[in-house]
Structure 1
Amino acid sequence: MALVRQTLVYDGPGGPFEGVAAWDDAVSGKRPAVLVLPNILGQKEEDNVKADALAALGYVALVADVYGQGKRTTLGDPEMGRYMAELNADRGLLRARLEASLEALASLAQADGARMAAIGFCFGGKCVLDMARAGLPILGGVSFHGVYDRPDYANVSPITAKLLVCHGWEDPIAPPEATVALAQELTDAGADWQLHAYGHAGHAFTDVSRKGGDNPKVAFEPRADRRSWQAMTTFLTELFG
């Protein structure tokens, strides 16, 4: 294995944007491509490690930047949600930036642009769902402890992207009624969807930086983290099979 990381600066509305791509240089030819959508903080090393792990599975991955070059926040920052809030208020702009990020992934020499997927965490999980809702050209997507509110534009019908929703049942940001509403939305849209709900897990269950925090409902949970990644691995194998 010869793991490669590469910074990728790309254009889009409100850009430029700066992401990080990863692939195994020992693999020849084009391969399936996976877009990684970060949480509230934006692109960071934790996301790059996820891209490395996808590269080790034989994919080419790009950690997307939907905030803009240099626009990042940190855990504990009183305004850590400021860039996310701008896009929550303009879901059409978010859609356009997701489309630009997907085009940047497809532009990589290692990427098979006909076989692309997306995974996302927290706000990134919302991004994955919005990509499917908007009909962007992904075969499928995985939302990890995502946010489920619908955008203010109409879904495509049917939603053709297959979806795996990995959900912490104790998540205060996505309570049971929001989770059931998402299931109904996806059913009404004709999507091929599945929901994995993890008991005794809340929001951010994949986020190791939340280990040992004082709020058990927004915390790293190792069993849910392990099980959801395995579920994603199986999902992508089937998707690209």
Structure 2
Amino acid sequence: MKSHYFFTFFLSLSAILNVQSQLKAVSYSDGAQQLEGFSGKPKKANPKKAGVLILPAWMGVDAHSKESATELNKLGYYTFVADIYGIDKRPKNSQEAGKIAGYYKTNFKEYQHRITLALEQLIKSGANPDEIAVIGYCFGGSGALETARANMKVKGVVSFHGGLGKEASRTTETIQPKVLVLHGADDFFVPEAEIKGFQDEMRNAKADWQMIYYADAVHAFTHKDAGSDKSKGVAYNENADKRSWKAMLSFFDELFK
């Protein structure tokens, strides 16, 4: 019985290591700041060699973003997990994460620049520069919207439980990329005023946008390590996780048809 247990454990461990090995660490830089993202290539690319840039949540490059990359590789997409902070700037806890993420939200031009650098790495990996989408989680979801606001050369962006607001002093430009927002219906970290402001922005920007709400879901509903206590405002929701992934794939079918 013990030998069977250890054999099963060994197979599971091997499967995990094999998934991680599909992603290749890539060193790149922003001036003197060293960055390290992760590139993934499909065994069989889709006909258009479409690529997806993944913007992680506020802790930076994490297992969740890598898992998303690997799953998309299986579906034929090139992927790149962006490093927004830098290899020596990764936060050690949520307090540090809130501080550094807040910096990039305020200094959005710097955030947009780091996204641009990551897009370059995605294209270098083999993705078609004319067939690109950007997705992001939480802080990365805010980054996905910044990609659209900057009208980067991408076909569409997807925000999973991301922040939606921008400073009132910023002008609203016409938005070219298509926008999909996947939002927890009970996410109290994103107030109603911010939601209304975002929707008004999308209308004024003449954007092609969609917003889907998921019942009983709060912030970080796709993160399996977020626990299940909704009262904290951060919790995993299996239904919302699966439904939002399907919504993203349907959106991709439209973008890359």
Q: What TM-score does the superposition give when structure 2 sets the normalisation length?
A: 0.86
Q: Can you give the 5+ residue segments of structure 1 that lack an aligned partner in the other structure?
A: none
Is the Cα contact below 8 Å between 1:14 and 1:68 reproduced in 2? no
The count of aligned residue pairs is 237
Distance, in Å, in 1 between the alignment partners of 2:243 and 2:43 is 28
Q: What is the CA distance between 1:102 and its match in structure 2?
A: 1.1
Q: What is the CA distance between 1:29 and its match in structure 2?
A: 7.7
Query: Who is 1:173 aligned against?
Result: 189
Instruction: For residues 66-114 of structure 1, give each alpha carbon's deviation from its aligned partner in whole angstroms, at most 9, with x where no partner exists.
Output: 111232235x544232321221231111111111111121121x21111
Which structure: greater strand fraction? 1
Q: After the TM superposition, which segments of 4 or more aligned residues of structure 1 sit over 4 Å from their partners?
A: none
Query: Who is 1:34 aligned against?
Result: 52
Distance, in Å, in 1 between the alignment partners of 2:188 and 2:46 is 44
Query: Who is 1:46 aligned against?
Result: 64
Do structure 1's residue 97 and structure 2's residue 114 form an aligned pair?
yes
Map of 1:1-241 to 2, 5 A cutoff? 4-13=22-31, 15-27=33-45, 31-74=49-92, 76-108=93-125, 110-151=126-167, 153-157=170-174, 159-213=175-229, 215-241=231-257
Is the Cα contact below 8 Å between 1:166 and 1:197 reproduced in 2? yes
Q: Can you give the 5+ residue segments of structure 2 that lack an aligned partner in the other structure?
A: 1-17
Q: Secondary structure at the match of 1:20?
A: strand
Distance, in Å, in 2 between the alignment partners of 1:13 and 1:236 is 33
Q: What is the CA distance between 1:14 and its match in structure 2?
A: 5.6
Q: Which letter maps to 1:19?
A: G
- Name the Cα RMSD after superposition: 2.0
Q: Secondary structure at the match of 1:51?
A: helix
Q: Which letter maps to 1:133?
A: R
Is the Cα contact below 8 Å between 2:132 and 2:154 reproduced in 1? yes
Q: Which letter maps to 1:15?
A: Q
Distance, in Å, in 1 between the alignment partners of 2:254 and 2:230 is 38
Q: What TM-score does the superposition give when structure 1 sets the normalisation length?
A: 0.91
Give the number of the structure whose alpha-carbon radius of gyration is greater.
2
Q: Secondary structure at the match of 2:231?
A: coil
Distance, in Å, in 1 between the alignment partners of 2:173 and 2:230 is 41
Range that drifts further, 186-195 or 28-37: 28-37
Is the Cα contact below 8 Å between 1:168 and 1:200 reproduced in 2? yes
Is the Cα contact below 8 Å between 2:27 and 2:36 reproduced in 1? yes
Residue identity (%): 33
Q: What is the CA distance between 1:48 and its match in structure 2?
A: 0.6
Q: Which letter maps to 2:83?
A: D
Is the Cα contact below 8 Å between 2:164 and 2:190 reproduced in 1? yes
